[in-house]
């Protein structure tokens, strides 16, 4: 099986060859914990979870290390804690707890390691010492800055010249900078905000250095795959590359760089001011999108219907379609008794191994459900779908639809009894009552009655 992945560094699909097939290493930038994750944030979470699952399938679950960090020191965190009048520790603890609930709801496996920035200040200082020592960084006015002209191929990942980069990043022009494109590794902290002692005084890290420190600590100086959303290519990933490569002297930080495309909502950029900002939590628990809650697997399937590098439009219609698909797949999965095991993958694995082509893979599964449901279930489970038993799915769906299945069954039974006793008026009254609930009855030749709700026999 050849795994091919589109590499932002080379701008083509590269064949994936791990540095060590017994220890495949993946890093993905995680959340800054000041607020609940929105559905745009769910995209990299789901996409790289699928990659993690695929790598585990190909190399063995014990031979893949997935690191997804938590950024728990940032200006936005300080500002939000002050705004809410709570401590930074309380805000980050609450947000991390919510984040864990959200990723579980959308079916993501826990990463192998979930490091927190504030536990890695020592590694950040070690990297900065190296950079200052080798002339790639300098101290100025209590800051430590990376000197971009010191790195001849700075800008290689985002393929922009330094001039373009400076303009694109709208970097703050500060008098203490030697060059406009220089970026902050460490900045002074006033006594009221979080800070750590360092050789350059009490301060706190910039965002980019955090990921260089955590990936180094948990994956080493060079690792296999680095991922994140497309907006992170510049400046965040470009600067991670600069720090890590210049600190350790390798030609690469990660061999493959993967970036997911952006998500918009009903054709528009998601924003608080546009009123279309939707969190994972609201989708799975609330009624703010399409007026109802949605099962986590519906969100996951809706996300995977679009290839991860394409933009995705998040619509109520797409969620309804994904839900219908799951209703169908769960009913087809019902007779599949055995716990799935990897065998003949009938094409779906090839689709997935072709740069995570999930739309092609889902088409494979649609076909396969007709011929070999056990194999189709295996494929669906591999990408984090059909994670519960069909009865559990049905029960949840009925609860969501406000269907009281026991009550329906009782009325159906009463009507059957009325028919058997030839009490036709009672039988007709019960039939009408059920019809009013959307229940259609089918009287079978063998004297039994089955029912169907709004055309969905699974319920």
Q: Burial letters for 335-350: b for 16+ Cβ neighbours within 10 Å, e otherwise?
A: ebeeebeeeebbbbbe
258-287 positions binding ligand AMP, by CB under 6 A: 260, 262-263, 270
Q: Is the peptide bond before 235 cis (omega within 30 degrees of 0)?
A: yes
| 29 scored as a contact of Zn ion (CB under 5 A) | yes
Write the DSSP symbol of residue 268. Answer: B
165: left (phi over 0), alpha (psi -120 to 50) or beta: alpha
Whole-angstrom distance, CA of residue 58 vs CA of residue 387: 20
Give dist(CA 371, CA 375) in Å, integer: 9
d(CA 37, CA 156): 30
- If DSSP codes are grouped into helix, strand and coil, which group holds residue 449? strand
Distance CA 200, CA 197 (A): 8
46 touches which of ligand AMP, Zn ion, none (CB within 5 to 8 A by kind)? none
Rounded CA-CA distance 163/176 in Å is 19
Distance CA 269, CA 278 (A): 11
Among 9, 24, 25, 40, binds ligand AMP (CB under 6 A): 40
18 sits near ligand AMP (criterion: CB under 6 A): no
Q: Which of 18, 31, 373, 384 binds ligand AMP (CB under 6 A)?
A: 31
Which residue lies nearer to ligand AMP by CB, 358 or 427? Answer: 358
> In the complex with ligand AMP, which residue's Cβ is closer, 227 or 373?
227
Specify the 3-state DSSP secondary structure of 287. coil
Binding-site size, ligand AMP (CB under 6 A): 15
The number of beta carbons lying within 10 Å of the beta carbon of residue 201 is: 14
Binding residue for ligand AMP, selected from 115, 228, 235, 373, defined by CB under 6 A? 228
Residues 342 to 401: which contact Zn ion by CB under 5 A?
none
Q: Tokens 């936005």 map to which residue?
A: 76
> Which of Zn ion, ligand AMP, none has residue 206 at its interface (CB below 5 to 8 Å by kind)?
none
Instruction: List binders of ligand AMP among 193-212 (CB under 6 A).
Output: none
Q: How far is the CB of 40 from Zn ion (least distance, A)?
A: 16
Q: Which of the choices ligand AMP, Zn ion, none does residue 262 contact, using the CB cut-off of 5 to 8 A by kind?
A: ligand AMP
**Residue from 41, 57, 92, 358 in contact with ligand AMP (CB under 6 A):** 41
Nearer to Zn ion, 29 or 356 (CB): 29
Tell which positions 44-103 bind ligand AMP, by CB under 6 A: 44
For the four alpha carbons of 265, 266, 267 and 269, in that order, the dihedral sign comes to negative
Which residue, 257 or 393, is less far from ligand AMP as judged by CB? Answer: 257
43 binds ligand AMP (CB under 6 A): yes
Query: Locate tokens 């997911």: which residue?
Result: 260
- Binding segment toward ligand AMP, per CB under 6 A, in 171-179, 216-224, 228-236, 287-295: 228-236
Contact pattern from residue 231 through residue 260 relative to ligand AMP, giving x for each residue in contact according to CB under 6 A and a dash for the rest? xx---------------------------x
Instruction: Residue 390: name the closest of 331, 316, 304 by CA.
Output: 331
Residue 270 touches which of ligand AMP, Zn ion, none (Cβ within 5-8 Å per kind): ligand AMP
Residue 355 to residues 6, 7, 222, 424, Cα–Cα distance (Å): 6, 9, 22, 62
Residue nearest to ligand AMP (CB): 229
Stretch that binds Zn ion, among 22-30, 218-226, 303-311, 435-443 (CB under 5 A): 22-30
**CA–CA distance, 127 with 115 (Å, rounded to integer):** 17
Q: Which of 7, 8, 32, 57 binds ligand AMP (CB under 6 A)?
A: 32
Contacts of 176 (CB under 8 A, 6+ apart): 140, 141, 143, 145
> Which parts of 306-365 interact with ligand AMP (CB under 6 A)?
none
Neighbour count for residue 199 (Cβ, 10 Å): 11
211 binds, among ligand AMP, Zn ion, none (CB under 5 to 8 A by kind): Zn ion
Task: Summarize as ranges the residues that interact with ligand AMP (CB under 6 A).
Answer: 29, 31-32, 40-41, 43-44, 228-229, 231-232, 260, 262-263, 270
Contact residues toward Zn ion (CB under 5 A) are 29, 211
């Amino acid at each position: 099986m050849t795994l091919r992945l589109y590499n932002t560094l080379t701008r083509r699909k590269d064949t994936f060859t791990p540095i060590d097939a017994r220890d495949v290493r993946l890093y993905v930038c995680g959340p800054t914990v000041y607020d609940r994750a929105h559905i745009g944030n769910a995209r990299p979470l789901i996409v790289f979870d699928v990659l993690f699952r695929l790598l585990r399938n190909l190399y063995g679950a014990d031979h893949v290390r997935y690191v997804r960090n938590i950024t728990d020191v940032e200006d936005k965190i300080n500002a939000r804690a002050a705004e809410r009048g709570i401590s930074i520790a309380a805000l980050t603890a609450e947000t991390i707890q919510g984040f864990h609930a959200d990723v579980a709801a959308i079916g993501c496996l826990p990463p192998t390691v979930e490091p927190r920035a504030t536990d890695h200040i020592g590694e950040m200082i070690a990297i900065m010492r190296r950079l200052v020592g080798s002339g790639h960084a300098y101290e100025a006015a209590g800051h430590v800055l990376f000197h971009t002209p010191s790195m001849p191929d700075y800008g290689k990942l985002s393929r922009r010249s330094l001039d373009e980069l400076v303009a694109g990043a709208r970097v703050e022009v500060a008098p203490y900078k030697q060059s406009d494109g220089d970026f902050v590794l460490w900045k002074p902290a006033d006594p009221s905000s979080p800070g750590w002692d360092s050789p350059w005084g009490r301060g706190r890290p910039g965002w980019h250095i955090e990921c260089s420190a955590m990936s180094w600590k948990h994956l080493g100086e060079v690792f296999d795959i680095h991922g994140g959303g497309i907006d992170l290519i510049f400046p965040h990933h470009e600067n991670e590359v600069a720090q890590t490569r210049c600190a350790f002297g390798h030609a690469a930080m990660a061999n493959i760089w993967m970036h997911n495309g952006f998500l918009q909502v009903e054709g528009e950029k998601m924003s608080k001011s546009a009123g279309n900002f939707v969190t994972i939590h609201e989708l799975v628990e609330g009624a703010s999108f399409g007026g109802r809650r949605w099962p986590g697997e519906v969100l996951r399937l809706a996300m995977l219907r679009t290839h991860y590098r394409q933009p995705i439009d998040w619509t109520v219609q797409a969620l309804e379609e994904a839900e219908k698909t799951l209703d169908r797949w769960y009913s087809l999965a019902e007779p599949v008794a055995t716990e799935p095991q990897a065998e003949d993958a009938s094409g779906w694995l090839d689709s997935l191994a072709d740069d995570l082509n999930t739309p092609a893979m889902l088409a494979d599964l649609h076909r396969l459900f007709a011929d070999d449901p056990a194999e189709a279930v295996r494929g669906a489970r591999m990408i984090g779908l059909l994670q519960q038993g069909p009865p559990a799915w049905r029960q949840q769906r009925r609860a969501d639809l406000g269907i009281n299945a026991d009550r329906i069954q009782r009325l159906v039974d009463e009507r059957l009894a009325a028919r058997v006793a030839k009490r036709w008026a009672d039988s007709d009254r019960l039939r009408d009552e059920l019809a009013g609930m959307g229940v259609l009855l089918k009287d079978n030749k063998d004297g039994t009655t089955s029912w169907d709700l709004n055309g969905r026999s699974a319920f």
